[in-house]
Structure 1
Amino acid sequence: MQTPCIHLCSLEPSTGFCAGCGRTLQEIGSWTSYSDTERRRIMELLPARLAGAATLSNHMKTNLAGGPERPL
């Protein structure tokens, strides 16, 4: 069975997606009961979810820092 899990399991509170694979807690818990078609459909969504989560995370860091991030 194909899985997007990369063993970096951490749910992002701002999105509800796993930081490693991009799935929701519901999707992770139900993964083995989904059909191959349903798993493929979800996996097609994951790159956009992860990209959106990264954008949101960067936006939140910028706002918390009071401006654009600066290298140390």
Structure 2
Amino acid sequence: MSQPIDSPCTKVCLIDPKSRLCTGCLRSIDEITAWANLPPETRREIMQTLPARRPLPAH
């Protein structure tokens, strides 16, 4: 039995037209599409960058 693939998916799939990132997981379309085929180390590297992608709240 294979292990599940780590994923930041939050099941809120909506691509922001300006940033071109998913508003739920903050991945790009290319990252989402390739996710299942990426090596675990690459997925971990991407996941580490996600918090910095969150937009700052508007003032």
TM over 0.5: yes
> Aligned letter for 2:19?
T
Output one character per residue of 1:5-62: Cα deviation in whole Å (capped at 9) or x when no partner.
0001100111111000000000000000100000000000001101xx2x2x72xxxx
Q: Note the residue ranges of structure 1 that are not aligned, 5 or more in a row.
A: 59-67
What TM-score results when the alignment is normalised by the length of structure 1? Answer: 0.71
Which is higher, the Rg of structure 1 or of structure 2? 1
Identity %: 35
Higher helix share: 1
Q: Note the residue ranges of structure 2 that are not aligned, 5 or more in a row.
A: none
**RMSD (Å) for aligned C-alpha atoms:** 1.3
What TM-score results when the alignment is normalised by the length of structure 2? Answer: 0.85
1:5 aligns with 2:9: yes
Distance in 1 between the 2:39 and 2:30 partners? 15
* Structure showing greater relative contact order (alpha-carbon pairs closer than 8 Å, 6 or more residues apart): 2
> Aligned letter for 1:7?
K
Distance in 2 between the 1:25 and 1:33 partners? 14
